């Protein structure tokens, strides 16, 4: 049997805030006037009493699972659990329990173990309900509170993930409520994975909630524990748990409720709450909600800002029925909608055209061969005025309406041709699986000799970087290919120099970035990559739909992480077929920030490419016999240029 101690070692950090907090209280009290010292002594005593009141309800949980690769049993890192009644029900975190292990053991303070069974999971709030033999001790927490949780009050986290005999404690304050789109309370305290599943109480020992790892959105990419050593942590409120615990006791899993809408604005505090699209086969679509509707209320609560939409929908569960009020043609309409646990994966549809410009009019500049547009006899020079009755005033809106159109249904267009409106019906296609063979020549391309390589850097990191761009000021709009170097690469300039002819031909800026360390890329460096991209956007005009990240060696795997984590910014990821991307959660493609992937090299789609495709991401392949296609195969480099340009496709 093999044990993973990594999380346990990291968890010992959680004791430090407790020791520091109490030590500071004692020292500070000794130097204060008598009245202040007495008050602080009372506060210290109250904290100790709250810990003692709670600690008896906290247990350690061990999981035993089978290793698929080695066929042996593995003991997972211990986490904490919280007894919530005297019938043997224990709440814990989903951390390590996403899949049902072979065995779950509850470790008592005396070291004895008893088995537990998994009753239900709350996937939205990262919780699991277990059932074991009733303890008979009467030690359990009460989920009901006398008062609402307030910002500024003490928050005391208790866990037994490190040791079943002695509780670990971390002390902080409540710093925000209704965080993570209404699903969590935020506390300013260091909570390591060993605390997950343990209770967080106030100074009176009343439950604030259960500590969990949490991402901004259920199902989004990225590690849920990324926040834990940043000094803040997230807690599922006792109130939210109490309202759902009977459902879980009945053995029913809880999942986040999905409506299936795409707001037009991506700015949180925009007052434009118009919907750009409604997903096919979604609850919103079935209820009759349409693109161009303006969302004005959710279950009687006003929607004033774009951020209100996620905040009001975030804590809702699948199966809940909401009343959605919209404004359509200056009339208020109300729809009753039952939220779904799942919506069929979004798979982008394409018409097969490129627009002449990104301004208010959508004039067709290019029609792809064998596309829906070609079959419908659309012509270069046609201006698309409406899609399915929705007036088109920008290219992004047109692209979104096309991408989210229901499969199997025709798309109705109104186009302007020779000054006359014309109705056209199209049968849309899925995104092609191969890179387009030809594209029209660009107007006024910048000659190869007019490009230069300039160094780039950030003042607070050691990562080296350089940028291939046209000489002079900002100039025309360009695509941006970010190349992440193999760790240990000394000079980045040769990487971008090899792309100069492709850059000039397809009008692509090339940004090369090196790893901070000589032997690896660290996941935390994704933030550095994003910042360097944003810095580049300030220096040159970058087409938002044409930002792509690729790389060499471990840089290729890092590029996949960035493409999946930072979808608001990045539109594509490139990796060699022999890469082994991993170490991140995978969630479905999102029409609000769609991403494509290009596999270079090999002749067959790798397993990871098929996995990504299964959740809705278009995955294209460019074959090559070269070991390092991006560096050594000019045909691959040209294909990459064509692919990046084709990301503008509607």
- Tokens 């692509």 correspond to 508
3-state helix, strand, coil in the chain (%, to 5): 25, 30, 45
In a domain, 562, yes or no: yes
What mean pLDDT is predicted for residues 624-645?
A: 94
Q: How confident is the model at residue 539 (pLDDT cuts 50, 70, 90)?
A: very high
- Answer for the pair 624, 640: CB distance below 8 angstroms, yes or no: no
pLDDT tens profile 274-306: 998 999 889 999 999 999 999 999 999 999 999
In a domain, 439, yes or no: no
Task: Kindly report the CATH number assigned to the domain that includes residue 106.
Answer: 2.40.10.120
What mean pLDDT is predicted for residues 104-118?
A: 90
In a domain, 235, yes or no: yes
H/E element holding 26?
helix 15-30
- Answer for the pair 232, 312: CB distance below 8 angstroms, yes or no: no
User: How distant is the alpha carbon of residue 342 from its chain centre?
Assistant: 17
* Residue where a domain terminates, one of 205, 224, 249: 249
Helix, strand, or coil here: 251? Answer: coil
Residues 601 and 623: their CA atoms lie apart, in Å, by 5
Q: How confident is the model at residue 99 (pLDDT cuts 50, 70, 90)?
A: confident
What mean pLDDT is predicted for residues 7-28?
A: 35
pLDDT at 124: 94
Same domain membership, residue 60 and residue 208: yes
According to DSSP, the β-strands at 572-576 and 542-551 are: parallel
According to DSSP, the β-strands at 619-622 and 596-600 are: parallel
Task: Kindly report the CATH number assigned to the domain that includes residue 296.
Answer: 2.30.42.10
* Residue where a domain terminates, one of 280, 305, 338: 338
Domains in the chain: how many in total? 4
Share of the chain above pLDDT 70, in %: 88
Per-residue tokens: 164: 């079943």
Same domain membership, residue 311 and residue 234: no
Q: How confident is the model at residue 356 (pLDDT cuts 50, 70, 90)?
A: confident
Same domain membership, residue 153 and residue 115: yes
Instruction: Locate the DSSP E strands across 418-485.
Output: 420-426, 429-430, 451-456, 465-470, 478-484
In a domain, 443, yes or no: no
Of the candidates 330, 370, 341, 331, the residue with the CA atom closest to the CA atom of residue 353: 370
Q: Can you say whether the dihedral through the CA atoms of 61, 64, 65, 69 is positive or negative? A: positive
Q: How confident is the model at residue 253 (pLDDT cuts 50, 70, 90)?
A: very high
pLDDT tens profile 65-82: 744 444 455 567 889 999
pLDDT at 536: 97
Same domain membership, residue 53 and residue 142: yes
Q: Which residue has the higher pLDDT, 6 or 197?
A: 197
Using CA atoms of 626, 632, 638, 640 in order, give the dihedral in degrees to the nearest 10: 70
What mean pLDDT is predicted for residues 609-613?
A: 90
Per-residue tokens: 528: 């550095």
Same domain membership, residue 462 and residue 415: no
> What would the DSSP string read from start to end of 339-379?
-BS--PPP--EE--EEES-SSSSEEEEEE-TTSHHHHTT--
Same domain membership, residue 150 and residue 10: yes
Same domain membership, residue 553 and residue 473: yes
Same domain membership, residue 572 and residue 460: yes
In a domain, 255, yes or no: no
What mean pLDDT is predicted for residues 165-188?
A: 92
Q: What are phi and psi of 24, to 5 degrees?
A: -60, -40
In a domain, 437, yes or no: no
In a domain, 344, yes or no: no
Same domain membership, residue 404 and residue 278: no
Residues 54 and 58: their CA atoms lie apart, in Å, by 7
Same domain membership, residue 241 and residue 266: no
Residues 33 and 29: their CA atoms lie apart, in Å, by 8
In a domain, 139, yes or no: yes
pLDDT tens profile 420-466: 999 999 999 999 989 999 898 888 889 999 999 999 999 999 999 99
Same domain membership, residue 184 and residue 268: no
pLDDT at 10: 33
pLDDT at 227: 47
* Residue where a domain terminates, one of 249, 270, 301: 249
pLDDT exceeds cutoff 70 at 555? yes
Instruction: Locate the DSSP E strands across 133-283.
Output: 154-159, 168-178, 184-188, 199-201, 207-212, 233-237, 261-263, 275-278
What mean pLDDT is predicted for residues 586-596?
A: 88
Longest alpha-carbon distance in the chain: 90
pLDDT at 17: 39
| Residue 370 belongs to domain spanning | 349-430
Per-residue tokens: 587: 């969630």
Of the candidates 427, 439, 426, 442, the residue with the CA atom closest to the CA atom of residue 384: 426
pLDDT exceeds cutoff 60 at 45? yes
Cβ count near 99 (within 10 Å): 7
Same domain membership, residue 112 and residue 183: yes
pLDDT at 39: 55
According to DSSP, the β-strands at 58-66 and 79-83 are: antiparallel
Task: Kindly report the CATH number assigned to the domain that includes residue 632.
Answer: 3.40.50.1820
pLDDT tens profile 473-523: 878 899 999 999 999 999 999 999 999 999 999 999 999 999 999 999 998
User: How distant is the alpha carbon of residue 321 from its chain centre?
Assistant: 26
pLDDT at 215: 65
pLDDT at 112: 86
pLDDT exceeds cutoff 70 at 56? yes
- Tokens 């537990």 correspond to 116
């Amino acid at each position: 049997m093999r044990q993973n101690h990594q999380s346990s070692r990291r968890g010992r950090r959680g004791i430090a805030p407790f020791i520091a907090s109490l030590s500071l209280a004692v020292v500070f009290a000794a130097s204060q006037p008598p009245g202040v010292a007495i008050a602080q002594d009372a506060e210290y005593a109250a904290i100790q009493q709250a810990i003692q009141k709670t600690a008896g309800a906290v247990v350690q949980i061990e999981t035993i699972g089978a290793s698929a690769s080695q066929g042996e049993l593995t003991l997972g890192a211990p986490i904490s659990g919280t007894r919530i009644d005297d019938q043997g029900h224990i709440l814990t975190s989903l951390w390590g329990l996403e899949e049902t292990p072979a065995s779950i053991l509850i470790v008592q303070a005396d070291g004895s173990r008893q088995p537990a069974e998994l009753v239900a999971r709350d996937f939205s709030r990262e919780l699991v309900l277990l059932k074991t033999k009733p303890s008979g001790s009467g030690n359990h927490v009460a989920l009901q509170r006398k008062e609402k949780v307030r910002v500024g009050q003490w928050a005391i986290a208790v866990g037994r993930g490190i040791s079943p005999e002695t509780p670990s404690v971390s002390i902080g304050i409540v710093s925000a409520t209704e965080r993570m789109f209404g699903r969590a309370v935020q506390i300013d305290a260091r909570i390591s994975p060993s605390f997950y599943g343990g209770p967080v109480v106030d100074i009176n020992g009343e439950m604030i909630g259960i500590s969990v790892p949490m991402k901004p959105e259920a199902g989004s990419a990225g590690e849920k524990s990324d926040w834990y050593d940043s000094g803040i942590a997230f807690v599922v409120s006792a109130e939210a748990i109490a309202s759902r615990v009977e459902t879980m006791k009945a053995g029913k899993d809880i999942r986040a409720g999905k409506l299936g809408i795409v707001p037009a604005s991506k700015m949180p505090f925009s007052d434009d709450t118009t919907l750009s699209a409604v997903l096919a086969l979604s609850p919103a679509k079935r209820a009759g909600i349409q693109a161009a509707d303006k969302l004005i209320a959710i279950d009687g609560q006003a929607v004033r800002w774009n951020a209100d939409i996620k905040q009001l929908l975030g804590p809702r569960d699948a199966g809940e029925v909401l009343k959605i009020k919209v404004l359509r043609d200056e009339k208020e309409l109300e729809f009753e909608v039952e939220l779904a646990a799942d919506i069929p994966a979004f798979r982008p549809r394409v018409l097969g055209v490129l627009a002449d410009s990104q301004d208010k009019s959508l004039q067709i500049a290019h029609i792809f061969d064998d596309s829906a547009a070609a079959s419908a006899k659309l012509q270069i020079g046609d201006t698309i005025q409406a899609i399915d009755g929705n007036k088109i005033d920008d290219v992004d809106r047109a692209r979104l309406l096309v991408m989210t159109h229901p499969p199997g249904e025709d798309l109705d267009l109104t186009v302007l041709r020779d000054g006359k409106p014309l109705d056209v019906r199209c049968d849309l296609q899925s995104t092609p699986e191969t890179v387009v063979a030809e594209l029209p020549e660009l107007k006024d391309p910048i000659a190869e000799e007019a490009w230069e390589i300039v160094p780039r850097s950030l003042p607070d990191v050691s990562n080296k970087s350089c940028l291939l761009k046209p000489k002079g000021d900002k100039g025309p709009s360009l695509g941006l290919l970010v190349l992440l170097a193999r760790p240990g690469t000394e000079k980045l300039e040769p990487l971008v120099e090899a792309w100069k002819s492709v850059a000039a031909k397809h009008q692509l800026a090339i940004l090369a970035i090196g790893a901070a360390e000589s032997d690896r890329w660290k996941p935390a460096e994704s933030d550095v990559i994003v910042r360097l991209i944003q810095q580049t956007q300030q220096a040159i005009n970058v087409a938002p739909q044409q930002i792509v990240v690729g790389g060499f060696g471990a840089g290729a795997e890092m590029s996949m992480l960035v493409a999946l984590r930072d979808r608001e910014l990045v539109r594509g990821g490139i990796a060699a077929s022999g890469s082994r991307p991993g170490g991140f959660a995978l969630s479905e493609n999102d029409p609000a920030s769609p991403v494509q992937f290009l596999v270079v090299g090999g002749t067959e789609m790798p397993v990871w490419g098929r996995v990504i495709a299964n959740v809705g991401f278009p995955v294209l392949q460019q074959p090559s016999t070269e070991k390092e296609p991006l560096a050594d195969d000019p045909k691959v480099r040209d294909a990459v240029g064509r692919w990046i340009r084709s990301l503008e496709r509607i």
